[in-house]
Every structure is written in C-alpha cells, then in structure tokens.
C-alpha cells in the first residue's frame, strides 16, 4: 500500500479495496519501524489518527466522502494543530499545544484526511538541511549520511521513505523545492497569498508560503485543491477563484514556451547536474514545448537581498517569544530583563540567534535605509525581471539545487556556504511567484530536481507541465534503494 500515490489510494478507498483504518495502521507501522533512524517525525499522533480513520470510514459508508477522506498524511510541524503539540523544531515551543487549528490544518480535517503526525524541520524554518532542529537532524533516506534539504526536510524525507504518501510544507526561500529535489519527490510552492498563512508560525511574513510535497504532480494538485483559497483571517490571502487543479493535468504541452535563464546555466553548475537538467528539457521538447534563452539580470543579487529581508522580518516575528505568554521560560529569573535574555538565549538555537542578530542590525537606526530599504528596492528589480521574462515565455526552467544532497555536517560550520544552497530558489520567493521541483534524474545515485517557475497564479499550468513530464518519465517513481 505504501508504494501507491494519493490518487491511487483514494481510488482504492472509494472502491472498498482497503479501509482507512487498515491504511492508517499500515503507515503508522512503517513509521514505527523506520523513523528511529530517519527522524522525519517530531510527533506521531497515533491514537488521534486511528480515531480519525474510523470516522473517515463511517463518512465513506454514509456516502459523503471527498477524494481525501481516509487518506493518511503528515503536517510540517509549523502548522498549528489543535490538541497536538506544534514545536517548529525548537526548544522554545517544545511543549506548546495550540488551542486552535491553522486554516490549512482545518481544510484537511474538513476534507476527512487523517494526519498521522508532525514532521521534523529546521528550527523556525531557518535552514537548508534540517540539521538545526532541536529534536535532531533528519536523514535523507537516499543516503545514511546525507541531508534531506530543508527546512521542510522531515516532510520530504517522510514522503521519500514512503512513511506517508503526502505532507504539507512551507517555503520561504526554497524550503519546499530544495528538499523535494534532494529527496526525489515533487514539491510545489504556490503564489504568495494563494494558501492561507493563518496558524502557520511565521518566519518571514512577506516570503512564507504554505505548499505541498508528494510523489507526483497529480498528488500535489489534489493537495492544492484542499489548501488553496481566500481566508479572511489572513490579511495577505488573495481573494481569487480557485480552479480544480486536477482538471487540466492531461492537457498536451504542444506550444508551451520554456525560458532558460542564462544566469542559472553557468560554469558554476556542475557538468553532471547540467546534463540531467538539459536531458529533462529535451524531453519537454519531445512533448511539444519550445525552448528559448532568457535573462534575469538581477538574479545574482537575490541571495544578498533575501538574507537582509528574511532575517529582518524574523527578528520582528520572533520577538513574541519572550517567556511571558507561552513557550519556554527560563528557571528562576532575577527580574524581567533576566527573564527575557535567558529565555531567548536558552530557547533558541544558534542559527535562529544568528538570523535574529542580523535582522535586528539591518533594522536598527542608521542602517535601515542602507540595508533593509535597499534590499526591498533590489527585490522590486528581481520581480520586474520575471515580469519581463513572462512576456516572452510561459514557464521558466532551471536546476532546483546546485548539487545533489550533501553530507551531514559538511556545511554547518559555514553559514554562507549553506545559504548558497538556495541560489536557484530564492528569487521566486522575493517575487512571490509559484514554482515547483520534480525529480529529473540521478547524479551519483542521488536525486536531482528540475525547477519550473510560473507567472502569478499559474499553478495549474505548472502542475500540467510536471504531470506530462511524469507521464513520459519514471524518475518520480524511483524510491531509495530502487
């Protein structure tokens, strides 16, 4: 059962070939057997999952099921779940149990899906390897000493190891697409504002976006059908009609125009990685697409702009964790100042502290204009590059990452090298565009991801392009140890 996609499992449930109770127990057993070495989960909510599975089976018998009713899945541990702890991978929230559901969480509950637990992540989503989690690093199932990418590494690794068929995730600078690429699964970051951020613990409010991780583009489309939509509780949510993302998956690609940014295909890209990506693009040409060289002239400024804007917003968002209202509190503080300083010093990990310090500096008097304001101006130039590019092409393609999954511990001592892992993904967050990563091949036995970037609210087109590629190739069907 674990080797089937969400779409296949949904059909099996509809035909009565399997019950949600059987399916949920199967995945819970796999988690218990395998997750000790992988650490993809922070919390496994087995009792709640089985209760939800029994309720799902009743719902199916009553004839009011959705395609998701009874399907087991997992939430990234950044989405608030009523009655189930939500840690954000941090000591600061180790024992935090939300009294409410995030909008995304509620949407899946309303659809009848069965959440089996909360997946591991870089602390407060700050990282590219899922090594900064307070609960221990996640291991990529494709290699016992490899990282799964981050910050949604737990979700990607759980899907790759077939511990769940799908998992929610979030993307601030590449945190869905980068782990999708490194774990050989399919991940989608929607347009900023397409998915509600209510109840999704904030890292950088103008960049964060909830999204999807699953084996196939079809499964991602099914997830987005549940997640997308306007939410009056989120001021950044966009009030725009939501299409059925599965309806256009089978449309042919004849006439699709693909742009290849010169700035992403340079000597810095290894020959092996470049070969895989170009072979994938040739497959698109065989499917009827045309290819055109384009330019994103300000692409080289994206990382510098991002690592001013994101830490600045993080420093403001994380100010709420002070030991007064909720979360970790230091023992026996001498006074209020001691409570604040020791709580934050003890509750946050090193990467979170680093970004708070950078962000606070960038926002300080005398430096706000020099750093934060200038970074926002660069952001606008990057956005304008994409706007001009989409006047010429329908989608843009590139590598998702500069290399396959790297070795654990290889980059933890050099933050700048770690930040460069997001070199191909960050621009789309700065511009607020939708983008996805899909498996496109192997280098040294490790997965390589192809990134597809679309114009605003063109998720259906991206999913169609990914689905047609997956109908013609087998890369998304490969599993660790294939």
Instruction: For 374-405, write each residue's pLDDT tens digit.
Output: 999 999 999 999 999 999 999 999 999 999 99
Among candidate residues 10, 90, 129, 151, the one labeled active-site is: 151
pLDDT band per the 50, 70, 90 thresholds, residue 270: confident
Both tokens of 252, joined, read 């042919």
Q: What is the pTM of this model?
A: 0.96
Q: What is the mean pLDDT of residues 116-125?
A: 98
The tens digit of pLDDT for each residue in 34-46 reads 999 999 999 999 9
Active site residue 175: yes
Least confident interval from 24-38, 122-136, 376-390, 409-423: 409-423
pLDDT band per the 50, 70, 90 thresholds, residue 412: confident
Domain residue spans in the chain? Answer: 6-255
Look at residue 307 and tell me whether its pLDDT is greater than 80. Answer: yes
Among candidate residues 10, 19, 175, 398, the one labeled active-site is: 175
How far is the C-alpha of 40 from the C-alpha of 138, rounded, in Å? 6
- What does the chain come to in residues? 482
Per the prediction, the chain carries an average pLDDT of 96
Active site residue 403: no
The better pLDDT of the pair 482, 328 is held by 328
pLDDT of 416? 75
CATH topology assigned to domain 6-255: Amidase signature (AS) enzymes (3.90.1300)
Active site residue 144: no
3-state helix, strand, coil in the chain (%, to 5): 45, 15, 40
Side by side, the strands of the sheet bearing 186-189 are 41-44, 114-119, 72-76, 166-171, 209-214, 186-189, 435-443, 446-454, 395-399, 257-261, 290-294
Among candidate residues 19, 39, 76, 90, the one labeled active-site is: 76
């Amino acid at each position: 059962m674990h080797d089937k996609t969400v779409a296949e499992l949904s059909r099996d449930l509809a035909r009565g070939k399997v019950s949600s109770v059987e399916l949920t127990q199967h995945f819970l057993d796999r988690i218990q057997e395998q997750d000790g070495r992988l650490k993809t989960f922070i919390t496994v909510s087995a009792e709640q999952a089985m209760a939800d599975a029994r309720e799902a089976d009743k719902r199916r018998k009553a004839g009011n099921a959705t395609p998701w009713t009874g399907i087991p899945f997992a939430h990234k541990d950044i989405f608030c779940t009523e009655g189930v702890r939500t840690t954000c991978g941090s000591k600061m929230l180790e024992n935090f149990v939300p009294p409410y559901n995030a909008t995304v969480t509620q949407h899946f509950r309303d659809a009848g899906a069965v959440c089996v637990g909360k997946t591991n992540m870089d602390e407060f989503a700050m990282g590219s390897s899922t090594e900064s989690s307070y609960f221990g690093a996640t291991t990529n199932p494709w290699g016992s000493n490899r990282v799964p990418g981050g910050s949604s590494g737990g979700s990607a690794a759980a899907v790759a190891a077939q511990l769940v068929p799908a998992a929610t995730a979030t993307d601030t600078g590449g945190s869905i697409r980068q782990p999708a690429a490194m774990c050989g699964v399919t991940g989608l970051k929607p347009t900023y504002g397409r998915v509600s951020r209510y109840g999704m613990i904030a890292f950088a409010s103008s960049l964060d976006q909830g999204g999807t991780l699953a084996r196939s583009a079809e499964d991602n489309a099914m997830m987005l059908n549940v997640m997308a939509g306007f939410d009056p509780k989120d001021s950044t949510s966009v009030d725009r009609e939501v299409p059925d993302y599965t309806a256009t998956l089978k449309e042919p690609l004849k006439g699709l125009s693909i742009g290849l940014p010169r700035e992403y295909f340079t000597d810095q890209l290894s020959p092996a990685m470049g070969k895989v990506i170009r072979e994938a693009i040739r497959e698109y040409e065989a499917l009827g697409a045309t290819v055109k060289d384009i330019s994103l002239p300000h692409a080289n400024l994206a990382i510098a702009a991002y690592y001013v804007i994101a830490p600045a917003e993080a420093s403001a968002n994380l100010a709420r964790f002070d030991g007064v209202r909720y979360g970790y509190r230091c023992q026996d503080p001498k006074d209020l100042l001691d409570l604040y300083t020791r709580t934050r010093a003890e509750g946050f990990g090193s990467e979170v502290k680093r970004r708070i310090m950078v962000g606070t500096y960038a926002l300080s008097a005398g430096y706000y204009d020099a750093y934060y304001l200038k970074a926002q101006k660069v952001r606008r130039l990057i956005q304008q590059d994409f706007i001009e590019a989409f006047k010429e092409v329908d989608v843009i393609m590139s590598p998702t990452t500069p290399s396959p999954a790297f070795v654990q511990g290889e980059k933890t001592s050099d933050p700048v090298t770690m930040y460069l892992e997001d070199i191909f993904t960050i621009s789309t967050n700065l511009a607020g565009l939708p983008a996805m990563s899909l498996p496109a091949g192997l280098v040294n036995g490790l997965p390589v991801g192809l990134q597809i970037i679309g114009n605003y609210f063109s998720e259906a087109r991206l999913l169609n392009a990914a689905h047609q590629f997956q109908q013609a190739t087998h890369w998304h069907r490969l599993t660790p140890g294939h």
